[in-house]
A and B are shown apart, each in its own frame.
Chain A
Amino acid sequence: MLAYTIRRLIWAVVVVLIVTMVTFAIFYLMPPGDPAIRFAGRAPNPRVLDQIRENFGLDKPFYQQYWIFLKNLVTGDEYGWPGLGFSYDTRVPVRNELLDRLPRTLILIAGAAVLWLIVGVTIGIISAVRRGTLVDKAAMGFALFGVSAPVFWLGLVALFVFWQKLGILPGTGYTAFSDDPKEWFLHLILPCTVLAMLYAAFYARMTRGNLLETLGEDYIRTARAKGLPERKVIMKHGLRASLTPVVTMFGMDIALLIGGAVITETVFNWQGIGSWVIRATTNSNLPVVVGVVLMAAIAVVIMNLLVDILYAYLDPRVRYQ
């Protein structure tokens, strides 16, 4: 078991390194252009451009830059540990900005995740149990809507209805908890709900499908034959078996969202990781892109590990390889 865990951790580190290497390669091998020119003033001669490139560390060949990147990552740079350099655009240290924005993205994801898990799974259960009835059809209709409605449209409509027209919820922007806890919470409601919609719909369908399949299994019949009340049959026996794929999906969904819930953050002016990295990508802002990619890769690897562990806990059959 220990050897297995160590092997997995080493492999995880390798994966993360490969991801960052590929990001570097893409930046240099794809032709998005030379960021130095944007910052080079009106009539830059080669000397000025060289100076700027030197400031950005762009004057070296890309494998050397990658090596410097790795070194700074491990030992830290002038801005602290880990050393992620500074954003070309604003010269803000990537590490500081990342630490500032990450909690905002995380709380958005956490809120949405709680919502979509509860709503999605509940609707899925009700739908499966009342299969074929109007409730089921309505639930699947909602699921279709949630899956098809583009997030940015949902966000704009939500703002329009709840903020502009009804005025019961505040508009865009993020308020820190330390500034005003009530406002912080109110500002969370719309973006979390909008982000959760798509996933809730998806999870409802998935839960319904899994549960229906599980309810056809023999051990469900056994449970009934034992005299268990139907509610227990579904919730204890049925759900347990149908939730393992849901758990796997949940872990991966969260991991991917950590890389940035881009659309939601942009529509709600959320100042999180997503809106930041998207701008950085279009502006060839390498340090920001690499910093976020690194963090996202780590998040995926960690969540993968957690999901595997959770899965083994839920389904004893996979424990013994």
Chain B
Amino acid sequence: MKRTRLLAILVLALGLAMTAAACGGGEEEGGGGGTGAAAPSGESGFGTATGPANKGGTYRVDVESAFDFTDAFDPTGEYTALGWSFYTLMLRPLMTYKHVAGADGNVPIPDLAAEEPEISDGGKTYTFTLRDGVKYAPPVDREVTSKDVAYAFDRLADPTYGGAGYPLYYQAITGFTDVADGKAKTVAGIETPDDKTIVFHLDKPAGDFLYRLAMPATAPIPEEVAKCAKKAGDYGRYPIANGPYMVEGTDKLDISSCNTIKPVSGYNPEAFLHLVRNPNYDEATENPDARENNPDRFEFNINSNVDDCFNKVKEAIIDDTLCGETPKQTKEYTENEDLKPLLKLYPDDSTFYLSMNLTQPPFDDVHVRRAANFVQDKVGLIRAWGGPVVGDVATHILPPSLVPDSLEGYDPYPSPDHTGDVEAAKKEMAQSKYDTDQDGICDAPECKNVLHIIGDSGRERGMVPVIEDSLGKIGITLNTRLLGDQYSVILDPTKKVPFGGGPGWGKDYPDAFTFFFYLFDGRVIPKEKGGVTYNEPLVGIDDATAKSLGIDLPAGGVPSVNSDIDNCVGTADDTQRLECWGELDKKLMEDVVPWVPYIWRNNSTIIAPSVSRWEFDQSTGNQAWTRVAVDQSKQQK
């Protein structure tokens, strides 16, 4: 007996020792190319790599778990930022961006278009001339024509293919909704007088139209191939590139008939996406402000083991990562001076928020909503996310890059160190009808056991106690339910969820319209049951819709900002439009108060020492694949 126990202790000790060794592995330098290789020259963690743009080599990236595409990589409907970032290599829409960080990265420049368009008719007509010599990848081989661009829009308008994506942005085009409603097959408002010219007619001016023409769904699509796709997502198995890179194996496709087209070998949705140079690509047609096209090949491989992802990038066995850093990596890379330059942090133009439903008590009272903004400990929430490295405290709705300078430092609900101001909150709460004795603490039954839906990820679980604690200080108690699939509940207005702790929103293109339209326009709320909306607070819901959905409105209805949105989006001048959006942000924060915003998130990426050039792409919120370069001599196997 005694000897067995001793042995057990020894075994346990051995086990603990091995665990300690495994966990402490962070201290040691990588094997092969780790220590000696210098980090890309010059910059600290928040800068860009400005080293030599080595040409050639394979840029290897590990992707955590899955691509998670929403439309199976079909450009017409795909709307993940990741998918869009891959398209920057493969597809050339009429417009694109510079694919750099910061405000400069949000400026649209001509891509497939030879130059900026001619705008006429009071901003309602856009005429583009296409570049010469832009060819599709083999086996399509031919030059891109304006008809291909028009076809992309027809596909986008067709609910079968485009419904999965973002067709609402193009409703301004004359005749677009006719196709959406099944009344026409092609968009009447798009003209193609010849192969190199395309004209867009809009119903009313849209100041941000050029942004909308930079989105990948508008890139030209060869109809002879895409017609074989029978349902949404199918085309994603064999997308034809017209850009500098194509999916590996595209040239081996047999497009002679629809029966012979097979999924392209370079894309296995469950395992990898490999891109190689498009042999038909003519560098002379490139817009050098957009792309450098350094590596010969890109490998995006799925890795189910996050630890392994970071182990490999440290050893330069892979060059870049699309894996979620845990506090372990963040800590390691921020504290180690040698590693710091390899951690890239950029705000990715997204806001995460606690959403309050304007139709459900107690949040149907604006004083309660203002009190919630005052009392919330935002720093505590950010700690649950992993600390200040993960993002900055959000004090209003739009991320800083989308507002004018006049909103710099704007915080309508200030509190000491953003940890919450209980006194100010109580003063606000005392004015609410739910605080019957006006002591600043809600005592009406509507404040007790308020349903709160949030996701069950690690950071959301960490947020729950902070939220409950803050709201508890003004007398609101929550009935928190963690759901793996929170969205199907909170996005459904008929579910009448009063409070949602999980959502976040990122821009689709660098204009506040992509925020306000989906989040606060009453007209996007579905009129019948069975639809969903991202306007969780139900700002601007009208009586008819509410009745049809079975929702009781508070006396006096719910505030609307529909006309404000219309006003701003119609403003053609960029600077004025920016100011307009800024004012709307303020109005929402002070008068409507649908949210408690708390973080403007950073995208964090860890790269390998083998990367010689690296940029952040502000337009996609991911790496600027069009600018990266790799030093082959520093790559390990």
Which of B359-367, B411-419, B521-529 makes up part of the contact surface? B521-529
Q: Is A312 an interface residue (CB 8 A)?
A: no
Pick the contact of B485: A33, A134, A271 (CB < 8 A).
Answer: A33
List, in ascending order, chain A residues with CB within 8 A of B11's CB: 141-142, 144-145
Closest partner residue, chain B, to A153 (CB atom): B19
Q: Is A55 an interface residue (CB 8 A)?
A: yes
Interface string of A141-157 (1 = CB under 8 A from B): 11011000100010011
Q: Are B237 and A52 in contact (CB under 8 A)?
A: no
Closest partner residue, chain A, to B165 (CB atom): A41
Q: Is B231 an interface residue (CB 8 A)?
A: yes
Pick the contact of A145: B15, B304, B305 (CB < 8 A).
Answer: B15
Q: Are A46 and B528 in contact (CB under 8 A)?
A: yes
List, in ascending order, chain A residues with CB within 8 A of B534's CB: 42-43
Q: Is B530 an interface residue (CB 8 A)?
A: yes
Interface string of A167-178 (1 = CB under 8 A from B): 100011100000
Pick the contact of B312: A137, A156, A171, A275 (CB < 8 A).
Answer: A171
Q: Are A40 and B164 in contact (CB under 8 A)?
A: yes
List, in ascending order, chain A residues with CB within 8 A of B79's CB: 41-42
Instruction: Report Cα–Cα, A77/B231, bound state, in Å.
Output: 16
Q: A91-B72, A157-B18 are in contact. Are A46 and B303 (CB under 8 A)?
A: no
List, in ascending order, chain B residues with CB within 8 A of A50's CB: 530
Q: Are A156 and B22 in contact (CB under 8 A)?
A: yes
Q: How large is the interface on B (under 10, 10 to 19, 20 to 34, 35 or more residues)?
A: 35 or more
Which of A220-228, A276-284, A301-309 makes up part of the contact surface? A276-284
Pick the contact of A141: B4, B270, B484, B529 (CB < 8 A).
Answer: B4
Instruction: Report Cα–Cα, A96/B79, bound state, in Å.
Output: 26
Pick the contact of A51: B163, B165, B270, B315 (CB < 8 A).
Answer: B163
Q: How large is the interface on A (under 10, 10 to 19, 20 to 34, 35 or more residues)?
A: 35 or more
List, in ascending order, chain A residues with CB within 8 A of B308's CB: 159, 171-172, 267, 269
Q: Are A41 and B77 in contact (CB under 8 A)?
A: yes
List, in ascending order, chain B residues with CB within 8 A of A43's CB: 168, 518, 524, 533-534
Q: Which of A214-239 contact B (CB under 8 A)?
A: none
Pick the contact of A284: B7, B68, B485, B526 (CB < 8 A).
Answer: B485
Q: Which of B293-312 contact A (CB under 8 A)?
A: 302-305, 307-308, 311-312
Pick the contact of A157: B22, B31, B69, B232 (CB < 8 A).
Answer: B22
List, in ascending order, chain B residues with CB within 8 A of A157's CB: 18-19, 22
Min CB–CB distance A96 → chain B (angstroms):
9
Q: Are A90 and B159 in contact (CB under 8 A)?
A: no
Q: Are A42 and B159 in contact (CB under 8 A)?
A: no
Q: A32-B484, A51-B160, A92-B269 are in contact. Are A42 and B7 (CB under 8 A)?
A: no
Q: Are B234 and A91 in contact (CB under 8 A)?
A: yes
Q: Are B25 and A160 in contact (CB under 8 A)?
A: yes
Q: Is A189 an interface residue (CB 8 A)?
A: no
Q: Is A266 an interface residue (CB 8 A)?
A: yes
Instruction: Report Cα–Cα, A188/B532, bound state, in Å.
Output: 47
Q: Is B70 an interface residue (CB 8 A)?
A: yes
List, in ascending order, chain A residues with CB within 8 A of B22's CB: 156-157, 160
Min CB–CB distance A56 → chain B (angstroms):
10
Instruction: Report Cα–Cα, A144/B68, bound state, in Å.
Output: 40
List, in ascending order, chain A residues with CB within 8 A of B166's CB: 41-42
Interface string of A19-53 (1 = CB under 8 A from B): 00000000000001110011111111111111110
Interface string of B52-81 (1 = CB under 8 A from A): 000000000000011111111000010100
Q: For A45, A137, A282, which residue has the most chain B Cβ atoms within 10 angstroms?
A: A45
Q: For A134, A269, A270, A279, which residue has the most chain B Cβ atoms within 10 angstroms?
A: A269
Q: Are B529 and A46 in contact (CB under 8 A)?
A: yes
Q: Is A65 an interface residue (CB 8 A)?
A: no
Min CB–CB distance A163 → chain B (angstroms):
8
List, in ascending order, chain A residues with CB within 8 A of B15's CB: 145, 149
Q: Are A44 and B4 in contact (CB under 8 A)?
A: no
Instruction: Report Cα–Cα, A47/B302, bound state, in Å.
Output: 34
Instruction: Report Cα–Cα, A173/B304, bound state, in Å.
Output: 9
Instruction: Report Cα–Cα, A153/B18, bound state, in Å.
Output: 10
Q: Is A89 an interface residue (CB 8 A)?
A: yes
Min CB–CB distance B520 → chain A (angstroms):
12
Q: Are A52 and B232 in contact (CB under 8 A)?
A: yes
List, in ascending order, chain B residues with CB within 8 A of A195's CB: none
Closest partner residue, chain B, to A53 (CB atom): B530
Interface string of B10-21 (1 = CB under 8 A from A): 110011001101
Pick the contact of B526: A39, A46, A90, A144 (CB < 8 A).
Answer: A46
Q: Is B3 an interface residue (CB 8 A)?
A: yes
Q: Which of A91-146 contact B (CB under 8 A)?
A: 91-92, 97, 134, 137-138, 140-142, 144-145
Closest partner residue, chain A, to B72 (CB atom): A91
User: How many CB-defined contacts (below 8 Å) exist between A and B?
Assistant: 160
Q: Are A33 and B487 in contact (CB under 8 A)?
A: yes
Instruction: Report Cα–Cα, A40/B78, bound state, in Å.
Output: 10
Q: A172-B305, A267-B305 are in contact. Are A40 and B532 (CB under 8 A)?
A: yes
Q: A91-B269, A276-B270 are in contact. Are A46 and B488 (CB under 8 A)?
A: no
Closest partner residue, chain A, to B182 (CB atom): A47
List, in ascending order, chain B residues with CB within 8 A of A149's CB: 15
Min CB–CB distance A146 → chain B (angstroms):
10
Instruction: Report Cα–Cα, A120/B31, bound state, in Å.
Output: 35
List, in ascending order, chain B residues with CB within 8 A of A64's CB: none
List, in ascending order, chain A residues with CB within 8 A of B4's CB: 137, 140-141
Closest partner residue, chain B, to A47 (CB atom): B159
Q: Is B236 an interface residue (CB 8 A)?
A: yes
Instruction: Report Cα–Cα, A43/B517, bound state, in Å.
Output: 10
Min CB–CB distance A80 → chain B (angstroms):
13
Min CB–CB distance B509 → chain A (angstroms):
12
Q: Which of A224-280 contact B (CB under 8 A)?
A: 265-271, 275-276, 279
Q: A49-B531, A52-B164 are in contact. Are A38 and B270 (CB under 8 A)?
A: no
Q: For B79, B270, B311, which residue has the most chain A Cβ atoms within 10 angstroms?
A: B270
Q: Are A279 and B8 in contact (CB under 8 A)?
A: no
Pick the contact of A41: B8, B19, B164, B302 (CB < 8 A).
Answer: B164
Closest partner residue, chain B, to A33 (CB atom): B485
List, in ascending order, chain B residues with CB within 8 A of A46's CB: 526, 528-531
Q: Are A156 and B307 in contact (CB under 8 A)?
A: yes
Q: Are B69 and A164 in contact (CB under 8 A)?
A: no
Q: A90-B69, A269-B304 are in contact. Are A144 and B8 (CB under 8 A)?
A: yes
Interface string of B526-548 (1 = CB under 8 A from A): 10111111100000000000000
Q: Is B317 an interface residue (CB 8 A)?
A: yes
Instruction: Report Cα–Cα, A157/B22, bound state, in Å.
Output: 6
Pick the contact of A49: B167, B233, B530 (CB < 8 A).
Answer: B530
Min CB–CB distance A263 → chain B (angstroms):
10
List, in ascending order, chain B residues with CB within 8 A of A144's CB: 8, 11
List, in ascending order, chain A residues with CB within 8 A of B444's CB: none
List, in ascending order, chain B residues with CB within 8 A of A51's CB: 159-160, 163, 232
Instruction: Report Cα–Cα, A45/B162, bound state, in Å.
Output: 13
Min CB–CB distance A19 → chain B (angstroms):
23
List, in ascending order, chain A residues with CB within 8 A of B236's CB: 91
Pick the contact of A32: B304, B485, B491 (CB < 8 A).
Answer: B485
Q: Which residues on A are within 8 Å of B, measured CB to CB?
A: 32-34, 37-52, 55, 87, 89-92, 97, 134, 137-138, 140-142, 144-145, 149, 153, 156-157, 159-161, 164, 167, 171-173, 265-271, 275-276, 279, 282, 284
| 27 A-B contact pairs sorted by A residue (CB < 8 Å) | A33-B487, A37-B487, A37-B532, A38-B70, A40-B164, A41-B77, A42-B166, A46-B530, A46-B531, A47-B159, A52-B232, A87-B269, A91-B234, A92-B269, A137-B3, A137-B7, A138-B7, A140-B4, A141-B4, A141-B7, A164-B25, A167-B31, A267-B308, A269-B302, A269-B303, A269-B304, A284-B485
Report the 10 A-B pairs with minimum CB-CB distance, sorted nearest first.
A33-B485, A90-B269, A33-B488, A46-B530, A48-B163, A91-B72, A34-B488, A46-B531, A141-B7, A91-B233
Q: Which residues on B are within 8 Å of A, measured CB to CB?
A: 3-4, 7-8, 10-11, 14-15, 18-19, 21-22, 25, 31, 65-72, 77, 79, 159-160, 163-168, 231-234, 236-237, 269-271, 302-305, 307-308, 311-312, 315, 317, 483-489, 491, 508, 518, 524, 526, 528-534
